[in-house]
Amino acid sequence: MYEKDLNLSLLLDFYGELLTDKQRDAMEYYYNEDMSLAEISEHLGGITRQGVRDAIKRGEQILLGFEMKLGLAAKFEKQKVDAGAILELADEIFNINMNRIYNPEISDKTTKIIAHANNILK
């Protein structure tokens, strides 16, 4: 067998609704539930292990194609990194303000920045 590309689980979250039900279900079971092809075949009923494998492979190709064209998952991951950096910097500013000459306006604005960055990460 081959190594699972767990990034496909993320792509499934973004683009899974665009797959057929069979492709989406097979990929959900395979990537998110860690089921074997035989278990998925049994669970779906009426589809062979080869059929499950084909559905997964086709689904992978479709998801990768969507990501190549749209790049939503990559943008999301970059936003998470950037929001984390914003949180760190805002926290530093807040602490500098609290430990030096306190300015309530700086405290208020950094608290708002932290809240907005946390909303991005949710």
pLDDT the model gives residue 4: 67
pTM of the model: 0.76
* Angle in degrees, 0-180, between the axes of helices 49-70 and 7-15, rounded to the nearest 10: 80
Task: Read off the pLDDT of each residue in 76-91 and give the average, rounded to a whole number.
Answer: 92
Domain extents for the chain?
A: 7-70, 74-121
pLDDT the model gives residue 101: 83
Q: How many angstroms separate the CA atoms of 111 and 113, rounded?
A: 5
CATH fold group of domain 7-70: Arc Repressor Mutant, subunit A (1.10.10)
pLDDT the model gives residue 12: 96
The number of beta carbons lying within 10 Å of the beta carbon of residue 96 is 12
The per-residue pLDDT for range 43-74, each reduced to its tens digit, is: 998 899 999 999 999 999 999 999 999 999 99
pLDDT at 89 over 60: yes
- In 3D space, the residue among 59, 50, 67 whose CA is nearest the CA of residue 20 turns out to be 59
Q: What is the share, in percent, of the chain residues with pLDDT greater than 70?
A: 97
* Angle in degrees, 0-180, between the axes of helices 72-99 and 49-70, rounded to the nearest 10: 60
User: Helix H segments across 71-103?
Assistant: 72-99
- In 3D space, the residue among 40, 64, 42, 65 whose CA is nearest the CA of residue 54 turns out to be 40
pLDDT at 8 over 90: yes
Q: What is the share, in percent, of the chain residues with pLDDT greater than 90?
A: 80
Amino acid at 106: I
pLDDT at 2 over 70: no
The per-residue pLDDT for range 22-41, each reduced to its tens digit, is: 999 999 999 999 999 999 99
